[in-house]
């Protein structure tokens, strides 16, 4: 059983040319379109929704987390850019792993990317619903019932928390005025007012389902239509983001930045999944390679340009909103709109932000909904999925079945998932993909027979830098962070051990990679990308690792039940 059979780059390009000739994917995208797709994917739920949770956890110091995450993503982006120019096909990290590590890793990464695109869109759809319902309530005389705006489990948990506060002697008015309960009141009212079938409450997020249907239809219609819609939406949200930064700067109270790190490093790092989720999506650009006019030249530029632009905007927005209100008020679904509602003279801007957020998050869904079907299409071409996933619509020139199936995968979890759980698991899948792409570049760099990419990451030898960095960090922890070491090397119980296992894994991995870098002269940038992403993965908590492992096991069952025997490489043997 050969689980690591590989495809050569020559075979991939030849197969893609044949498939493109027969399927007729249309090439309409240039560097501006790709940059716009990147901005469309990145500036969405992160800047309009999850930035609130991250700011509430980390305080104004959340900007450090944005900068660190941006640097980590930039390291990974260099790896994506190098692969994208070398292998300009639609498979993204799936195809890159096929070349570098073989079929089993390719399947694993393809399965993990489902979490980034299809499952990630669940979070975006729910965030879109938050802003849409807020817009309807504030701009019209109508209001959507709370039980039509939330998933069942979120509403039930919020109801239980508020009910416990009521039973403790608080009034509903006191609870609603408490900033710590700001994010729970909607769920309480939703569960309390929802109709029932027997003992089962009927609660679901209708607007989230609606936007999913509309985006799926648009993506199904064609890449040119999707590109035009994306470019228009990007222009709208960039204008509003600049407006928020410029106008909001005049209302910043610097006293709200004190303390800058109210919950310490631990509180800051607790927001890492929310901040990282704000950046995922730039890699979706690489899934449109077969629809680019000049992918080798334009894709690296589009990936890097979009990250730089979005990082500047994220840091500016975080400083503005934490300067206008106290950080602990920001744990709400629509933090930007909430901030400007607090300023009587700027309530009109709250409405503008709500409209922009509706547009912005729709554009994120558009890019994610573009990415997932194209990965499935590529996996189907390789025989790892049924042939239906590779079908291209004869008129619209899009992967039709894959697009509709992706829409269904987004729709079903909307009924019952918790947005925070989806964000964390989605981040885990994405970080895993980034790690393998960075590792893939390192592996190809050590292969003297590997073809040369038209875009090459600047080479800095990590032979001495990485081991030196590992030694310095270890010494610093031993001298200045003895409490941290005492915590991680105390074994009170098995549950405590498992909770620390991700960090143990990171340090063991750091040590191993340092040795390999010394032995094989690794390139510094992809190595730092791998380590930064590995570190962020270690901060997601052991439960998310467990959920992610369960997801991978399900994927492996499908691979061995179908993909291994139907693979085109298996038929060549």
* pLDDT for 509: 93
* pLDDT for 101: 84
What's the length of the chain?
573
Class of residue 200 by CB neighbours under 10 A (exposed 0-12, middle 13-18, buried 19+):
exposed
Q: Residue 261, SS3?
A: coil
Torsion sign (Cα): 26, 404, 154, 126: positive
* pLDDT for 164: 86
Whether the predicted pLDDT of 22 surpasses 50 = no
pLDDT tens-place string over residues 472-484: 988 888 887 777 7
CA–CA distance, 54 with 453 (Å, rounded to integer): 38
pLDDT tens-place string over residues 216-254: 998 888 777 777 887 888 888 788 888 888 888 888 888
Q: What band does 449 get if pLDDT is binned at 50, 70 and 90?
A: low
Task: Tell me the average pLDDT across 379-406.
Answer: 88
Among 39-43, 92-96, 483-487, the minimum mean pLDDT is found in 483-487
Whether the predicted pLDDT of 69 surpasses 50 = yes
Q: What band does 359 get if pLDDT is binned at 50, 70 and 90?
A: confident
In 3D, which of 207, 216, 210, 212 has the Cα closest to residue 150? Answer: 207
Whether the predicted pLDDT of 118 surpasses 60 = yes
Task: Tell me the average pLDDT across 511-528.
Answer: 92
* pLDDT for 558: 92
- Take residue 206 and report the two structure tokens written for it: 């209708």
Q: Residue 278, SS3?
A: coil
Task: Tell me the average pLDDT across 545-558.
Answer: 89
Q: Residue 200, SS3?
A: strand
CA–CA distance, 233 with 553 (Å, rounded to integer): 38
Supply the mean pLDDT for the chain: 81
Whether the predicted pLDDT of 427 surpasses 60 = yes
* pLDDT for 277: 67
CA–CA distance, 282 with 84 (Å, rounded to integer): 12
Tell me: cis bond preceding 101? Omega within 30 of 0 counts.
Answer: no
CA–CA distance, 129 with 215 (Å, rounded to integer): 14
* pLDDT for 546: 86
* pLDDT for 469: 93
Q: What band does 378 get if pLDDT is binned at 50, 70 and 90?
A: confident
- Count of C-beta atoms within a 10 Å radius of residue 480: 9
CB 38 within 8 Å of CB 280: no
- Strands, E assignment, 86-230: 196-197, 200-201
For 353, the enclosing helix (H) or strand (E) is helix 347-381
Q: Residue 399, SS3?
A: coil
The domains found in the chain, sorted by start residue, are: 28-139+208-441 (1.20.1740.10), 152-203 (no CATH), 451-572 (no CATH)
* pLDDT for 452: 66
- Take residue 363 and report the two structure tokens written for it: 């554009």
CA–CA distance, 53 with 246 (Å, rounded to integer): 23
- Strands, E assignment, 167-216: 196-197, 200-201
CB 9 within 8 Å of CB 89: no
Counting residues of the chain whose pLDDT is more than 70, the rounded percentage is 88
């Amino acid at each position: 059983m050969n689980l690591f059979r590989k495809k050569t780059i020559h075979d991939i390009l030849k197969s893609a040319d044949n498939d493109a000739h027969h399927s007729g994917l249309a090439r309409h995208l240039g560097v501006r379109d790709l940059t716009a797709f990147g901005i469309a994917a990145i500036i969405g739920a992160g800047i309009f929704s999850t930035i609130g949770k991250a700011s509430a956890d980390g305080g104004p110091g959340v900007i450090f987390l944005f900068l660190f995450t941006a640097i980590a993503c930039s390291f990974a982006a260099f790896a994506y850019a190098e692969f994208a120019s070398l292998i300009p096909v639609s498979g993204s990290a799936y195809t890159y792993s096929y070349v570098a590590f073989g079929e089993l890793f390719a399947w694993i990464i393809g399965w993990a990317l489902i979490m980034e695109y299809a499952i990630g869109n669940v979070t975006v759809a729910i965030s879109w619903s938050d802003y849409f319902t807020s817009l309807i309530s504030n701009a019209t005389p109508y209001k959507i019932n709370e039980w039509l705006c939330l998933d069942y489990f979120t509403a039930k948990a919020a109801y239980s928390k508020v009910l416990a506060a009521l039973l403790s002697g608080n009034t509903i008015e006191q609870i609603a005025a408490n900033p710590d309960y700001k994010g729970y009141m909607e769920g309480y009212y939703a569960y309390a007012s929802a109709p029932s079938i027997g003992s089962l409450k009927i609660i679901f997020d209708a607007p989230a389902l609606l936007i999913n249907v509309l985006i799926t239809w648009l993506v199904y219609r064609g890449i040119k239509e999707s590109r035009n819609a994306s470019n228009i939406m990007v222009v709208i949200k960039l204008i509003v983001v600049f407006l928020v930064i410029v106008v909001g700067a005049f209302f910043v109270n610097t006293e709200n930045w004190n303390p800058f790190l109210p919950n310490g490093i631990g509180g800051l790092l607790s927001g890492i999944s929310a901040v990282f989720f704000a950046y995922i999506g730039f890699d979706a650009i690489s899934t449109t390679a077969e629809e680019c006019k000049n992918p080798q030249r334009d894709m690296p530029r589009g990936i890097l340009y979009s990250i730089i632009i979005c990082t500047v905007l994220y840091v500016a927005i975080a400083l503005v909103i934490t300067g206008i209100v106290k950080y602990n008020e920001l744990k709400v679904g629509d933090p930007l709109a909430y901030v400007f509602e607090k300023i009587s003279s700027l309530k009109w801007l709250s409405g503008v932000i709500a409209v922009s957020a509706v547009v912005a998050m729709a554009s994120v869904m558009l890019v994610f909904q573009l990415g997932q079907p194209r990965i499935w299409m590529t996996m189907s071409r390789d025989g790892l999925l049924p042939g239906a996933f590779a079908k291209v619509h004869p008129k619209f020139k899009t992967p039709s079945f894959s697009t509709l199936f992706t829409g269904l995968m987004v729709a079903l979890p909307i009924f019952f998932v918790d947005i925070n759980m989806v964000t964390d698991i989605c981040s885990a899948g994405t970080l895993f993909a980034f790690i393998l792409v960075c590792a893939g570049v390192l592996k190809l760099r050590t292969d003297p027979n590997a073809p040369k990419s038209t875009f090459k990451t600047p080479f800095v030898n990590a032979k001495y830098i990485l081991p030196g960095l590992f030694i310095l960090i270890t010494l610093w922890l031993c001298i200045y962070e003895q409490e941290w070491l005492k915590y991680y090397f105390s074994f009170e119980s098995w549950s405590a051990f498992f909770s620390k296992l991700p960090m143990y894994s990171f340090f063991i991995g750091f040590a191993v990679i340092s040795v390999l870098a010394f032995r094989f002269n690794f390139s510094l940038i992809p190595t730092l990308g791998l380590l930064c992403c590995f570190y962020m993965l270690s901060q997601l908590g052991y439960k998310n690792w467990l959920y992610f492992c369960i997801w991978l096991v399900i994927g492996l069952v499908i691979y061995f039940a179908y993909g291994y025997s139907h693979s085109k490489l298996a038929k060549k043997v």
